[in-house]
Amino acid sequence: MAPPLPATFYARDALDVAAELLGAQVTANGVTLRITEVEAYRFPGDTANHARMGRTPRNAPMWGPPGHAYVYLCYGLHRMLNFVTGPEGHAAAVLIREDAPVQPESPYGLTKVHGEQMLDWMVARRGWRAVSLRYFNPVGAHASGQIGQPPEAAVALVPRVLAALATPGARVKIFGTDWPTADGTCLRDYVHISDLSRAHLLAMECLERPGHQVFNVGTGRPHSVREVIAACDEAAGWRVPVDAAPRREGDMAVAVADPARFHGATGFVATRQLHEMVESAWRWARANPEGYGAKGSRG
């Protein structure tokens, strides 16, 4: 972002900061964006202390000049304003860094926080060396076709869509179609499981250093829910019907990893694209329709 924000910016209330950001310009990847919509919470999911200002036109291009940008702020999180755009300058997003204040929105997320806290304790009290990897939406299957994710009881977007594509008459719900993004659906970061496996091997080398190191593992590239569904449709060769549904409590418009720290420590770059992720997952699902252990399964 240019120019750099003053240090006093980071210590202020997100609701106060939001009002001042509206209408400002930022530059990312050589593209100038004007902030036309800001959503702010004092804490994640804190609807009692929430502000939403401005509105990004749904038909407006997300690239400049001046372009349009959406900013999501929480108290303490605005220190991480870091915009990323696609190669055409669209899909502006805020990258999440490892030093973000952690506010889990589910029991599952809470277990991750407690796990990192226990490692902090053992590093401080027992001299352990530890590495924690924070995954951003792992997707895909191994190229061999022998390792994949069973589609039954799927919760994550990609296996849920693939399960629907394989089930006659099934439909997929899109939770929120009025988010301030280019197509109105949430933006997320997805990483292929083979890239993720390679990240684990590199993380093992980091154990040579003392302390507890925390790294994001993602691509830093945002993809919308509609983009993901379209990629799944293309992999299958037909389209799954979709239904618009209300936003889910605790969801946020944009959640994209800042992978810079892990890259700096190990040289890691996630190389596989979204279409490779969903195509590999679809191949495995078709070869193993009942998951592992079933008749005809290659797993």
pLDDT of residue 248: 85
Instruction: Answer yes or no: are the C-beta atoms of 189 and 134 closer than 8 Å.
Output: no
Token pair for 283: 């191949």
Q: Tell me if the bond preceding 3 is cis, omega within 30° of 0.
A: yes
> What class, spelled out in words, does domain 107-287 have in CATH?
alpha beta
Low-confidence residues of the chain, pLDDT below 70?
A: 1-14, 25-34, 36-37, 39-50, 52, 55-95, 100-101, 151-154, 180, 292-299
Structure tokens at 38: 């800001």
- Helical H segments across the chain, by residue range: 7-10, 14-21, 107-126, 157-165, 193-206, 225-236, 260-266, 274-287
Instruction: Clarify whether 108 is annotated catalytic.
Output: yes
- Active-site pick, 72, 108, 135, 190: 108
Domain ranges of the chain: 7-96, 107-287
pLDDT tens by residue, 241-288:
999 999 887 777 778 887 878 988 998 989 899 999 999 999 998 888
**Is residue 242 within 8 Å of 166, Cβ to Cβ?**
no
Q: What pLDDT does 56 receive? A: 53
Terminal CA-to-CA distance of the chain, rounded, Å? 47
**Which distant-in-sequence residues (6+ apart) come within 8 Å of 297 by Cβ?**
287, 288, 290, 291
Please state the pTM of the whole predicted model: 0.70
Rg (CA), the chain: 20
